[in-house]
Amino acid sequence: MYLPISSLLDLLDWLPGHKFETSLIPGVALQGLCGLQLQEVLRLTWDRVDLRSETITIEEDRRHDPSVAGVKNEHRVRKLPLPEKVVRILANLWAANPNRKGSDLVIDTPTWKAYSHRVERMLKGWKPAYRIPPKDLRNTLPTEAEKGGWMSIWVRRYFGHAPANMIERSYLAEV
């Protein structure tokens, strides 16, 4: 299940003024327009955002428990370009509070469940007919990419999925 990009952009335009806009706007934008998983969004910190080069870096997160990696596999460690809309959202968020270097980007959400419930309630308030789980917002970009002609192998690599078979593991170059 996914939300089309046009609907996602409508949602992002509707969100300003929402009670939890400071956590919902960047979270929804990063999931929908960058294809990040829910945990990747919640673990993202400002020191992994480079607004000058318009990229974010997804790395292991060992802040809370050093024995637990923040990514499933080495393919999830990656640097992604940010769409212009996401750059504007993050730049505005940074300008509103520039002293947060190193802190979590999506603030005021103690757990992933709290964030998920906020997204779920927000989606019901936006368009009750949409029945999309909060974690599925990340499916927007990969689905649109495949519809736009990307080969599924490159979509999987871009979004940090491990090689699915021996051919991918052994014969295709790293990207």
Residue 170 Cα distances to 157, 166, 173, angstroms: 14, 6, 8
Q: Quote the Cα angle for 144-105-73, to 5°.
A: 60
Instruction: Please report, for the chain, how many H helices and E strands are present, in that order.
Output: 8, 3
CB 11 within 8 A of CB 126: yes
Q: Which residues of 141-156 are buried (b: 16+ CB within 10 A; e: fewer)?
A: bbbbbeeeeeeebebb
What domains can you pick out in the chain, each with its CATH number? 5-148 (1.10.443.10)
Residue 29 Cα distances to 25, 66, 130, 164, 173, angstroms: 6, 28, 17, 28, 30
Distance of alpha carbon 166 from alpha carbon 153, whole angstroms? 13
**pLDDT tens for the 175 residues of the chain, in order:** 788 999 999 999 999 999 888 889 999 999 999 988 888 888 888 889 999 999 998 876 555 554 444 555 555 678 889 999 999 999 998 888 777 766 777 766 666 678 888 889 999 999 888 788 888 888 888 889 889 998 887 887 777 776 777 777 676 655 4
